[in-house]
Amino acid sequence: MLNKPYISFCIPTFNRLEILQKTIESIYADKEVDLDDFEVVISDNEPNQSARGIIEKFSYKNLYYYPTNTTGFLNSFNVLKFGNGHFLKLHNNYTMLKRNSLKEMIEEVKENLTSKPIIFYTDGLKQYNAVRKYDSYDKFMHALSYFSSWSTGFGIWKDDFDKVQGSLKINEYFPQTSLLVTQSDKVNFIINDLNVFDNQHIPKKGGYNIFKVFAVDFVSLIKVEYDAGKISHKTFDKIKNDLLLNYIAVRYFKTVIARLDNFEKSDIKKSIGVYYSPTAYYLMIITSLFSPLKHLKRKFNI
């Protein structure tokens, strides 16, 4: 490719056809952006290639469709292989772009094309409502906390991805975090906490034990960073505590109390006990009762 796009929106998908269509439409809504400046890459691991019909509704020269037999969350790693842009932006199929976000993201890539820092999008969830820069991996991870697990916030420079993809051991639930932690030797890091996304509601999400996946699998990934001396004890504890009280507790309310989704809920206490103290489980339950108030506060602040 002679003229590489600045950014590749790499979207793994499985069904959710109407949701995917709205996401694609939102990316192309900024008509003043040159199509050569970005591309949209779809990797569809639904056996019947159901998303193909959605893609065929569009006629954009920079929209690409790839069927794949890659299973589960590993499609989030697979889709990055198809991107040709300078910056590979992993993007959930339910994540729409707000108006003007595309232009702003392209400008951010242009500004950092030489230094190639880690750029992570937290969409206002950190409540900074600003772009913050860090000069060490530990400071960055301390600020980012458990959001390092969020696939739609993740991006990696293609040059960096090409260096690590062949030898990397990928966590089946967190391919994006597996890639993120390979970038610890960077000297510049950015958290973009501006509200650039508009996430569509996905009813009755589920299909796996989310409590085990986060309390055990994700924490195990971060513990490797701590054991290797890449992050401090202070940062490791912050990530664990934030995860327990700000994510797992909220998920407990949605899954166990309100029954808003279909995630498995077996052995929650056992999963939490792997890396947390015996009292942490009960603290999580108590905290979960306040999660609706936290949600309202976050929406108001954003």
Number of other residues whose CB lies within 10 A of the CB of residue 43: 25
Structure tokens at 60: 């954009």
pLDDT for res 295: 58
Percentages of the chain per state (helix, strand, coil), in multiples of 5: 45, 15, 40
pLDDT for res 274: 98
Per-residue pLDDT of the chain (302 residues), as tens digits, is: 558 999 999 999 999 999 999 999 999 999 999 999 999 999 999 999 999 999 999 999 999 999 999 998 999 999 999 999 999 999 999 999 999 999 999 999 999 999 999 999 999 999 899 999 999 999 999 999 999 999 999 999 999 999 998 888 899 999 999 999 999 999 999 999 999 999 999 888 888 999 999 999 999 999 999 999 999 999 999 999 999 999 999 999 999 999 999 999 999 999 999 999 999 999 999 999 998 776 555 554 44
Task: Please tell me the distance from the alpha carbon of residue 44 to that of residue 65, in angstroms, as a whole number.
Answer: 8
54: containing domain = 7-199
Task: Please tell me the distance from the alpha carbon of residue 12 to that of residue 267, in angstroms, as a whole number.
Answer: 30
In a domain, 118, yes or no: yes
Q: Are residues 123 and 25 in the same domain?
A: yes
Residue 288 near residue 249 (C-beta atoms within 8 A): yes
Residue that terminates a domain, selected from 199, 221, 251: 199
CATH of the domain at 151: 3.90.550.10
Count structural domains, the chain.
2
Strand, helix or coil for residue 243: helix
Q: Are residues 148 and 272 in the same domain?
A: no
pLDDT for res 300: 43
In a domain, 31, yes or no: yes
Residue that terminates a domain, selected from 174, 199, 224: 199
DSSP β-ladder status, 87-90 and 155-157: antiparallel
- Say which residues have a Cβ less than 8 Å from residue 246's Cβ, sequence separation at least 6: 146, 294
Strand, helix or coil for residue 284: helix
pLDDT for res 4: 93
In a domain, 204, yes or no: no
In a domain, 107, yes or no: yes
Task: Please tell me the distance from the alpha carbon of residue 143 to that of residue 137, in angstroms, as a whole number.
Answer: 10
Helix 219-227 to helix 233-242 angle (10° resolution) is: 170
pLDDT for res 297: 54
Residue 12 near residue 45 (C-beta atoms within 8 A): yes
In a domain, 175, yes or no: yes
Encoded amino acid at 247, one letter = Y
